[in-house]
Copies of this chain bind each other. A is one copy, B any other.
Amino acid sequence: MRDVAARAGVSAKTVSRVFNDDPHVLPETRAKIEQIMRELNYVPNVLATTFRSGKTSAIGVAVPDIVDPYFAAIARAVDDVARKRGVATLLTNLGDDPARERDVLESLLSRRLAGLIVAPIGVDHSWLKRWTESTPVVFVDRSPTGLPADIFTDNDEAGGHQATSHLIGHGHKRIAYVGDSFHLSTEVNRLAGYRRALTEAGLGFDEALVASYVKDRDSTRAAVERLMALPGRPTAVFSSNARSSMLLLRALPEASVAVVGFGDFPLADLLRPALTVVDQDPDQIGLLAAGRVFERADFPKRRLKRTNVLDVTLIERESCKVARP
């Protein structure tokens, strides 16, 4: 900037004004400076600007796993919204270690972002309080713990209920539940919905039918073997998330049990049998969360509903129809 100012025979402040579209600059002065900026290939130091002003024109997104199409879709939806406002989106992977969540998030927050959207993996977010005083933080998919904050999530309980009821409607009486970890609000709620559906149908809840650590090929295989060897062998399975569904389809003996999954994913409809799913709307969640971040930033005092639950819908395909009991 110094060089530009020197070459143009003006002060640094005037150069700064040109960049910030300050109207109080003579057109000719402006033209000259712009010319020299191009020549010198000058790009203002965003860092210095941010440092000085305390805010960057970027929002952060943190998700457990960027490879998961659900989170990728949320991230892209956020990016679309931010892009329209000329704001950059910085995405980061949380990984699978809850203990590192704080480090990763603070590394983002310390860049003085204009906002942060997070699908958490941790079990305590009270430490986030001091950050929320200066940066709007919006949760997606999973609720925060120990912190009041904006959250956009799916109606997991209703979805679990819908999926299970649908299988019951197809005549199944022994329905297994397959999921991964239980420290997430989503899983807890989906299991609750599953349980309620069973109870309402007078089927009763059997703990043996719950397989809760389906995370990779081995654990999936083990879970399937255990379930299939059960005295009252299940004729149907409710898979509580897309990752588990994909693993399950690989491990299940072909067309041996009916399946309904929570969460649609690419190609689910091209499988044989095509997978019946409870469809979430990650694009919508990303859209709303990004909108909320900007709304909080623009109108800090506005009172808004913190908890926002989106409806889910069942997409009936074929996998719920196989193996009628």
Contacts and interface: CB of A to CB of B under 8 A. Distances in A.
A46 B79 contact: no
Contact of A92 (B51, B88, B104, B249): B88
Given A67-B69, A76-B67, A91-B93, A107 B266 contact: no
Contacts of A188: none
Contacts of A147: none
Contacts of A91: 66, 90-93
A304 interface: no
A20 interface: no
Contacts of A265: 266
B93 A47 contact: no
A111 B47 contact: yes
| Number of identical protomers | 2
B93 A107 contact: no
Contacts of A224: none
A257 interface: no
Contacts of A47: 47, 50-51, 110-112
B107 A58 contact: yes
A125 to B, nearest CB: 14
Interface of A: 41, 43-48, 50-51, 58, 65-67, 69, 72-73, 75-76, 79, 83, 88-93, 95, 104, 106-108, 110-112, 130, 246, 249-250, 265-267, 270-272
Given A48-B51, A66-B76, 16 more contacts: A46-B107, A47-B47, A47-B51, A47-B110, A58-B107, A66-B66, A66-B79, A67-B72, A67-B73, A67-B76, A75-B93, A88-B108, A246-B267, A265-B266, A267-B267, A271-B272
Pairs of residues from A and B, 6 with the lowest C-beta to C-beta distance, nearest first? A46-B110, A91-B91, A67-B72, A272-B272, A88-B107, A79-B93
